[in-house]
């Protein structure tokens, strides 16, 4: 399904990218927008924050994040989806503080100690593990000292623990990388990559969560 990783289900483009959030609101019976609103609130965004959104899609999360910023705050989204980028630009064409660039996020990025916060939302579960590691390295390098990395994604659980009405759509929609993602200890992985876990806010009984981790200085590693 993906161009980069054929077994990935997150390389979203075309009609799916055009109607992505409407579709998610439909399958969650209207709960998706409230979920994102609550998750973004939990990021404790400050008015002057510089935020990097890795795999920003059509800018749905940016629409909520921008409400917390003043004229000094900035959001930079990175994505490789043609339709996603087109929609992102349409939404923020009158706001130069919110930009999107066509870029891969699983290859080394040029950003170094520039951002207060890095968000990756429903991306990392759909990547093969070495690509996830590259993304995490990009996030750490892009952050200022003590900057915060947020992973908004699935929680950690056994598939067999999920109620059938959630397990069946998960199995239908998700790829093998997602099955691997939910089985890993993400706080331990973040520690290995130079972060200190500082928050874990669960939604939908732990089916999804916002994981928060602070960049540790090289000295502290």
- Residues in contact with ligand SAM by CB under 6 A are 4, 10-12, 55-57, 60-61, 79-81, 84, 104-106, 121-123
| Closest separation in Å from C-beta 9 to ligand SAM | 8
Residue 121 or 141: which CB sits closer to ligand SAM?
Answer: 121
CA distance 45 to 88: 20
Question: Nearest-CB residue to ligand SAM?
Answer: 57
Write the DSSP string, 32-68.
HHHHHHHHHHTT---TT-EEEEET-TTSHHHHHHGGG
Residue 41 or 196: which CB sits closer to ligand SAM?
Answer: 41
- Write the Ramachandran bin of 217: left for phi over 0, alpha for psi from -120 to 50, otherwise beta: beta
Residue 45 or 61: which CB sits closer to ligand SAM?
Answer: 61
4 Cβ partners below 8 Å, 6+ apart?
A: 11, 80, 104, 106
Residue 55 or 194: which CB sits closer to ligand SAM?
Answer: 55
Residue 84 or 147: which CB sits closer to ligand SAM?
Answer: 84
216 within 8 A of 191, measured Cβ to Cβ: no
**Three-class DSSP category at 116:** strand
| Closest separation in Å from C-beta 54 to ligand SAM | 7
Beta strands in the chain (DSSP E): 50-54, 74-79, 98-102, 115-121, 143-154, 195-203, 208-215
Q: At what angle do helices 32-41 and 20-27 cross, to 10 degrees?
A: 110
CA distance 140 to 128: 19
Residue 34 or 71: which CB sits closer to ligand SAM?
Answer: 34
98 within 8 A of 62, measured Cβ to Cβ: yes
């Amino acid at each position: 399904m993906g161009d980069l990783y054929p077994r990935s289900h997150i390389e979203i483009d075309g009609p799916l990218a055009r109607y992505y959030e409407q579709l998610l609101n439909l399958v969650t019976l209207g709960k998706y927008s409230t979920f994102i609103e609550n998750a973004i609130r939990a990021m404790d965004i400050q008015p002057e924050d510089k935020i990097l959104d890795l795999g920003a899609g059509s800018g749905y999360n940016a629409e909520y994040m921008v409400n917390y910023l003043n004229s000094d705050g900035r959001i930079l989204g990175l994505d490789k989806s043609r339709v996603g980028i087109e929609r992102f630009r349409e939404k923020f064409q009158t706001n130069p503080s919110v930009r999107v660039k066509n870029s891969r996020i699983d290859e080394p990025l040029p950003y170094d100690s520039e951002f207060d916060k890095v968000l990756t939302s429903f991306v990392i579960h759909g990547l093969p593990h070495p690509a996830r590691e590259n993304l995490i390295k990009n996030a750490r390098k892009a952050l200022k000292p003590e900057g915060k990395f947020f992973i908004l994604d699935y929680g950690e659980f056994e598939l067999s623990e999920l109620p059938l009405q959630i397990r069946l759509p998960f199995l239908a929609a998700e790829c093998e990388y997602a099955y691997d993602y939910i089985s890993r200890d993400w706080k331990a992985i973040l520690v290995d990559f130079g972060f200190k876990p500082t928050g874990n806010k669960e939604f939908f009984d732990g089916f999804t969560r916002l994981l928060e981790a602070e960049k540790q200085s090289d000295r502290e590693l």
